[in-house]
């Protein structure tokens, strides 16, 4: 078969009966899970609660964002905690809860894809306390609109964005998502709306400190795909092309959010861990957005 033939739309999710964050998966299950993940499925772990004792839950409940941002964020590499209104003496305990989740998420990911280890960078951990439904957001930040992840200040230069979530809501509230079509279809629909980058703009943004590192052509395209999808009302309203996914408390899930168009419609109290992966670490690097976009545009993008 032609390696570039359009793949059949993958199943939007694969449920896995895993009940431990750290145990290795049986080899056949591991291979199936990694294959699904790289082909754009959401891996769902319906039996994978992130257990919090009463003291830990109280910390999260009191951690509420300080209003300057929508989430509490933690950097497991530096220990820096941001966005919490907690008094300084309680912050180390909150950091410890977030670090425990960061470690659990990493163990789970490496159980699914052990080969990623040398190509993986663990980025931020977030706690997302606020109810999504009804929250007013400017369109570009509105994650109830289907999008692929791309962040203006954080160029990845082709590295993947992979996220692990768990719903820890104590009141039974599910987190409600929709996911869209395979990445190549998504990219084909919006590529013609990506303008040429202004000459020198990447250097200027970097020089001004507006981007962490220099924006590659890949980052430029991904940002514009993100924006083009979010501002296209007809695309957003075409729900027949979307799959609904509900994640009740006690459920974890993982997904390449740079590849899978996704929207979060409702829910509160989730923990999330972001990873970056060099496509070289994938079993199928040709499925990475970088390689797909290079094929569609006919040029090197990093």
Q: What is the footprint of Fe ion within residues 186-245 (CB under 5 A)?
A: none
**Smallest separation, CB 134 to ligand SIN (Å):** 15
When asked if residue 143 is in the footprint of ligand SIN (CB under 6 A), the reply is: yes
**Smallest separation, CB 143 to ligand SIN (Å):** 3
When asked if residue 142 is in the footprint of ligand SIN (CB under 6 A), the reply is: no
Which C-beta is closer to ligand SIN: that of 81 or that of 150? 150
Which C-beta is closer to ligand SIN: that of 215 or that of 262? 262
Q: What is the footprint of Fe ion within residues 131-170 (CB under 5 A)?
A: 149
Cα(52)–Cα(216) distance, rounded to whole angstroms?
A: 41
> Which residue among 159, 175, 215, 220 contacts ligand SIN (CB under 6 A)?
175
When asked if residue 257 is in the footprint of ligand SIN (CB under 6 A), the reply is: yes
> Which residue among 128, 159, 160, 287 contacts ligand SIN (CB under 6 A)?
128
Binding part of the chain for ligand SIN, among 46-54, 188-196, 257-265, 288-296 by CB under 6 A, reads 257-265
Q: Which of ligand SIN, Fe ion, none does 175 bind, CB closer than 5 to 8 A by kind?
A: ligand SIN
When asked if residue 178 is in the footprint of ligand SIN (CB under 6 A), the reply is: no
Residues that bind ligand SIN (CB under 6 A): 128, 143, 149, 175, 257, 262, 264, 270
Residues that bind Fe ion (CB under 5 A): 149
């Amino acid at each position: 078969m032609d390696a570039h033939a359009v793949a059949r739309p993958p199943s939007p999710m694969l449920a896995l009966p895993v009940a431990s964050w750290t145990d290795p998966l049986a080899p056949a299950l591991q291979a199936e899970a990694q294959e699904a993940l790289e082909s754009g499925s959401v891996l769902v772990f319906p039996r994978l609660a992130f257990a919090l004792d009463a003291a830990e839950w109280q910390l999260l409940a009191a951690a509420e964002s300080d209003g300057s941002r929508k989430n509490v964020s933690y950097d497991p590499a530096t220990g820096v905690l941001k966005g919490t209104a907690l008094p300084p003496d309680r912050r180390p305990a909150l950091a410890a809860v977030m670090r425990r989740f960061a470690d659990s998420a990493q163990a789970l990911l490496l159980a699914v894809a052990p080969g990623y280890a040398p190509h993986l960078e663990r980025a931020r951990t977030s706690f997302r306390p606020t109810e999504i439904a009804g929250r007013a957001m400017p369109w570009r930040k509105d994650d109830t609109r289907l999008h692929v992840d791309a962040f203006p200040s954080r160029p990845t230069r082709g590295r993947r964005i992979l996220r692990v979530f768990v719903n820890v809501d104590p009141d039974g509230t599910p987190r409600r998502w929709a996911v869209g079509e395979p990445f190549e279809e998504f990219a084909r629909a919006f590529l013609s709306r990506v303008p040429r980058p202004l000459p020198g703009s990447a250097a200027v943004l970097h020089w001004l400190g507006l981007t962490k590192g220099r924006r590659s052509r890949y980052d430029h395209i991904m940002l514009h795909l993100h924006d083009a999808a979010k501002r296209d009302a007809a695309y957003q309203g075409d729900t027949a092309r979307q799959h609904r996914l509900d994640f009740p408390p006690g459920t974890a899930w993982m997904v390449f959010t740079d590849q899978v168009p996704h929207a979060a419609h409702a829910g509160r109290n989730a923990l999330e861990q972001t990873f970056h992966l060099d496509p070289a670490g994938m079993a199928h690097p040709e499925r990475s957005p970088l390689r797909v976009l290079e094929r569609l545009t006919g040029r090197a993008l990093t």
